[in-house]
């Protein structure tokens, strides 16, 4: 019988050779290819756009990301198995003057890896996307611009502004006669969504620039409350306003950022969103937020440009105010977009539109309407133009937040018929400024 082998008799373990890491190809020699996202490449694509915005990738949001992003609208450039540019769009509906919901491509996650810039990748993605939006029959595209210089050359105009409001809460007493009433209380997220979803759907139709939130994932994005979005503040808190009759007619969300000391509190209320059906609900919600114990400051990063808080307080100067750009709008189908909205006044005007990227938009269009409640016709015409403008300028004025007369005054709109710009501008205006509380 053979003896059992000892440890010293056993063959040595096989150690695989240490291979040097394989570098990606040199960017100046690589040939990126335009590709659609697939389920297999989705996670790498999300990692690429997180890197493009210099953010961390958060694996815990993968399930939500797969609900939000649509593979057939998500694409980019790849070199081998590596994404070096990303672009996407979400299927949404945008509220336009008059309350109609217009199918809109909500453009998002546009990035180009630094070594691949200035090689035409961004232009190729934007052209590819606009052609796709046009094929889908969506009259509008919209985006939030991380870099405001980028998107004008693709026809996106800054149609919506926002206010950044801040101040010391103890300096914000209301003027005598400002009516408050009913009551405000904090509720759970489940309770909040149950009553606020139908209220939001009703209220957003009165506010151009807002997005519909029909799906669970659209509300999940609106109320996103992962630790990485809190910026050191508390979890998102949800409050509703009850009218004197006991009906919910307003709501707000906010966070609380602790500050100061135990003897000298200096905490901050960070207002995320506030909606109200009437002035009493609006004032009462603000009074609740400004009177929270331990708070001495407030901040609202995305208030509507016509937010009337400054008109409610004794000292309007106590509400620090900064005007910032918000949503950029692009008309993809000019006649369909112009027909979709209502107009503040009757108008009969021939607009000559230029559009280098979507030639179907270019040419002369006669816009006719008898006013807010009337139907609108937009037809091609060979009649002489009353007003000439680019699709960028038309998108800028489309929601009524920027006056056509202001664009004319800086020579971005040309008038051929005396008074035509004023007439078209009056018709394109609206009684409420556009606002977009939805980031995407």
Q: What is the pLDDT of residue 3?
A: 57
pTM of the shown model: 0.92
How far are the Cα atoms of 7, 35, 97, 109, 255 from residue 87, in angstroms, in the given order? 59, 11, 29, 5, 31
Active site residue 440: yes
How far are the Cα atoms of 190, 254, 277, 318 from residue 162, in angstroms, in the given order? 29, 17, 20, 18
Q: Over range 180-201, report the average pLDDT.
A: 97
Confidence of residue 150 (pLDDT cuts 50, 70, 90): very high
**Same fold yes or no, 33-138 and 333-428:** no
Which is more confidently placed, 10 or 423? Answer: 423
Q: What is the pLDDT of residue 262?
A: 82
Nearest-angstrom CA–CA distance, 393 and 407: 7
Nearest-angstrom CA–CA distance, 295 and 309: 18
Q: What is the pLDDT of residue 24?
A: 86
Per-residue pLDDT at 10 exceeds 80: no
* pLDDT (tens digit per residue) in 26-51: 999 999 999 999 999 999 999 999 99
What class, spelled out in words, does domain 33-138 have in CATH?
alpha beta
**Which secondary-structure segment (H or E) carries 122?**
helix 121-136
What are the residues facing 33 on neighbouring strands?
78
Q: What is the pLDDT of residue 215?
A: 85
Q: What is the pLDDT of residue 8?
A: 59
Q: What is the pLDDT of residue 1?
A: 55
Active site residue 42: no
Fold of 163-323: Aminopeptidase (3.40.630)
Nearest-angstrom CA–CA distance, 320 and 166: 5
Q: What is the pLDDT of residue 23?
A: 87
Do residues 365 and 351 touch, judged by C-beta distance below 8 A?
Answer: yes
Nearest-angstrom CA–CA distance, 249 and 84: 47
**How many helices (H) and strands (E) in the chain?**
11, 19
Supply the mean pLDDT for the chain. 95
Q: What is the pLDDT of residue 112?
A: 97
Per-residue pLDDT at 359 exceeds 70: yes
Query: What architecture does CATH give domain 333-428?
Result: 2-Layer Sandwich (3.30)
Q: What is the pLDDT of residue 2?
A: 55
Nearest-angstrom CA–CA distance, 412 and 396: 11
Q: What is the pLDDT of residue 20?
A: 75
Q: Over range 145-163, report the average pLDDT.
A: 96
Per-residue pLDDT at 111 exceeds 70: yes
Do residues 42 and 66 touch, judged by C-beta distance below 8 A?
Answer: yes
Confidence of residue 11 (pLDDT cuts 50, 70, 90): confident
Question: What are the residue boundaries of the structural domains of the chain, listed by start?
Answer: 33-138, 163-323, 333-428
Q: What is the pLDDT of residue 373?
A: 82
Q: What is the pLDDT of residue 140?
A: 98
* Among 77, 254, 328, 440, the one annotated catalytic: 440
Per-residue pLDDT at 148 exceeds 70: yes
* pLDDT (tens digit per residue) in 133-147: 999 999 999 999 998
* Among 151, 156, 328, 398, the one annotated catalytic: 151
Buried b (16+ CB within 10 A) or exposed e, 405-433: bebbeeebbebeeeebbebbbbbbbbebb
Q: What is the pLDDT of residue 374?
A: 86
Q: What is the pLDDT of residue 4?
A: 57
Which residue's structure tokens are 């694509």? 45
* pLDDT (tens digit per residue) in 46-70: 999 999 999 999 999 999 999 999 9
| 324 SS3 class | strand
Q: What is the pLDDT of residue 293?
A: 94
Q: Over range 102-115, report the average pLDDT.
A: 97
Per-residue pLDDT at 5 exceeds 70: no
Q: What is the pLDDT of residue 191?
A: 97
Which residue's structure tokens are 């796709």? 132
Q: Over range 252-269, report the average pLDDT.
A: 93
Q: Radius of gyration of the chain from Cα atoms?
A: 27
Number of Cβ within a 10 Å radius of residue 305:
18
Q: Over range 232-247, report the average pLDDT.
A: 97
Confidence of residue 15 (pLDDT cuts 50, 70, 90): confident
Query: Dihedral of the CA atoms 69, 198, 133, 222 (nearest 10)?
Result: -40
């Amino acid at each position: 019988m053979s003896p059992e082998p000892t440890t010293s008799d056993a063959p040595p373990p096989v150690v695989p050779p240490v291979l040097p890491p394989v570098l990606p190809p040199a960017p100046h020699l690589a040939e990126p290819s335009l590709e659609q996202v697939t389920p297999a490449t989705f996670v790498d694509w999300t990692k690429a756009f997180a890197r493009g915005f210099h953010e961390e990738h958060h694996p815990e949001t993968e399930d939500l990301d797969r609900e939000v992003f649509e593979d057939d609208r998500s694409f980019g450039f790849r070199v081998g198995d590596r994404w070096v540019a990303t672009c996407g769009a979400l299927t949404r509906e945008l509220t336009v003057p008059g309350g109609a919901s217009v199918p809109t491509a909500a453009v998002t996650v546009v990035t180009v890896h630094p070594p691949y810039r200035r090689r035409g990748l961004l232009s190729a993605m934007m052209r590819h996307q606009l052609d796709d939006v046009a094929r889908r029959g969506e009259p509008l595209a919209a985006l939030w611009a991380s870099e405001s210089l980028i998107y004008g050359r693709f026809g996106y105009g800054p149609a919506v502004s926002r206010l950044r409001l801040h101040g010391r809460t103890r300096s914000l007493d209301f003027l005598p006669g400002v009516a408050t009433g009913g009551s405000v209380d904090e509720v759970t997220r489940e309770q909040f969504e149950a009553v606020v979803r139908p209220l939001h759907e009703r209220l957003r139709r009165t506010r151009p620039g807002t997005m519909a939130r029909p799906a669970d994932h659209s509300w999940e994005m609106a109320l996103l409350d992962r630790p990485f979005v809190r910026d050191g503040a508390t979890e998102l808190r949800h409050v509703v306003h009850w009218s004197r009759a006991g009906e919910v007619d307003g709501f707000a969300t906010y966070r609380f950022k602790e500050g100061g000391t135990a003897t000298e509190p200096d905490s901050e209320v960070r207002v995320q969103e506030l909606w109200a059906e009437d002035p009493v609900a609006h004032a009462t919600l603000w009074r609740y937020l400004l009177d929270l114990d331990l708070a001495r400051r407030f901040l609202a990063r995305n208030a509507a440009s016509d937010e009337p808080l400054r008109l409610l307080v004794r000292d309007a100067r106590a509400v620090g105010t900064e005007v910032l750009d918000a949503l950029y709008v692009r008309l993809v189908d000019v006649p369909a977009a112009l027909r979709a909205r209502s107009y503040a006044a009757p108008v009969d005007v021939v607009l000559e539109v230029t559009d280098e990227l979507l030639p179907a938009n270019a040419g002369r269009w006669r816009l006719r309407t008898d006013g807010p409640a009337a139907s609108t016709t937009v037809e091609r015409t060979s009649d002489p133009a009353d007003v000439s403008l680019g699709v960028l300028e038309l998108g800028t004025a489309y929601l009524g937040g920027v006056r056509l007369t202001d664009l004319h005054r800086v020579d971005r709109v040309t008038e051929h018929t005396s008074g035509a710009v004023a007439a078209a501008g009056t018709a394109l205006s609206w009684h409420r400024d556009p606002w977009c509380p939805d980031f995407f």
